[in-house]
Amino acid sequence: MTWDFLDNKAILVTGGTGSFGHKFVQTLLAETSAARIIIFSRDELKQSVMEATIPDPERRLRFFLGDIRDLPRLQRAFRGVDYVVHAAALKQVPMLEYNPFEAVQTNIIGTQNVINAAIDQKVKKLLLVSTDKAANPANLYGATKLCAERLMVASNSYSGADGTKLSVVRYGNVVGSRGSLVKVIEEQRKTGEVTLTHEDMTRFWITLDQGIDLVFNALARMHGGEIFVPKIPSMKIKDFIQAMAPESTIRVIGIRPGEKLHETLITPEEARHTKEFDSYYVILPENRWYSLEEQYAGGKNVPNDFFFASHKNSDWLDHEGLKRLLESL
């Protein structure tokens, strides 16, 4: 698929200095003819480093300091913007269990601010980057991202038929992102010992490039109200560690506060309104006033008891598959 729909358009990324945002902006510069690419974030140092390290000979990049908790600042930033990708969030699970209302203010109230600004400034499309932890959440981070998803889907009723379209992408652990398991293992293996919270723990795995492809495809296809979920493989954390650090011993330390044994991307409740395509699923909105059945008629209905969870997956990474994935980073 080409990204012609971005030609001469303005696109803004909240949380644009994070791992996803950094790679997404590089891809926008390299593969699209977007007129303006705006990074909206609250970290001036990361913006300064990003500006200094990403080549921008056509001067398409704009850096906008601000916090999504600040609605007036968002209103100013969104003026004249066609597309917004909302990736800003607080996401460190143990830290948010200890500082719960900080997560609420950023991930829930901040998302509502983004929605309000997008609708008020007549942004064409707004896409939320979500997480598998939002499905059947067991921690505060997951609960706040579930709220963010629900806000995004329901807000299509406020924007109207010709207004802003709002949708979601939901995916699993990003291999090699800032603070990811790969980075933790690389540091711990220097000591000869790597910690593991539970021997049976499983996770979904996706690369940054795959996540970015999902976002581009969702931006191109979305009608508003959908949740896009990629078909991605699972792997046991123990196997992941053994593949990355075979010479290290593994010490089991117990599950951390808010940590799940397995993650979920589509729940059995969501299966009743989910369509399957070759490389992804689309969870359609349940609201009776807003049906997308016609737009997604080409998809296949999944079984009513379908459960896309990391321990129930039909696609598993082995050591060789993980090696190829890491080499692609």
Active-site residues: which are they? Answer: 133
Report the interhelical angle of 237-244 vs 181-188 (nearest 10°). 50
Instruction: Please give the Cα distance from 176 to 186 (Å, whole number).
Output: 11
> What secondary structure letter does DSSP report for 106?
I
Instruction: Please give the Cα distance from 28 to 180 (Å, whole number).
Output: 24
Size (the chain), residues: 329
- What are phi and psi for residue 232, nearest 5 degrees? -130, 155
Instruction: Please give the Cα distance from 217 to 16 (Å, whole number).
Output: 19
Query: Residue 57, class by beta-carbon neighbours within 10 Å (0-12 exposed, 13-18 middle, 19+ buried)?
Result: exposed
What is the bridge-based pairing of β-strands 264-266 and 308-309? Answer: antiparallel
**Would you tell me how many other CB atoms lie within 10 Å of the CB of residue 105?**
17
Residue pair 316/204 in contact by the 8 Å Cβ criterion: no
Query: Residue 202, class by beta-carbon neighbours within 10 Å (0-12 exposed, 13-18 middle, 19+ buried)?
Result: buried
Nearest-CA neighbor of 234 among 315, 120, 153?
Answer: 315
Residue pair 18/87 in contact by the 8 Å Cβ criterion: yes
Cβ-Cβ contacts under 8 Å for 312 (sequence gap 6 or more): none
Please work out, in degrees rounded to the nearest 5, the angle formed at the alpha carbon of residue 60 by the alpha carbons of 59 and 61. Answer: 95
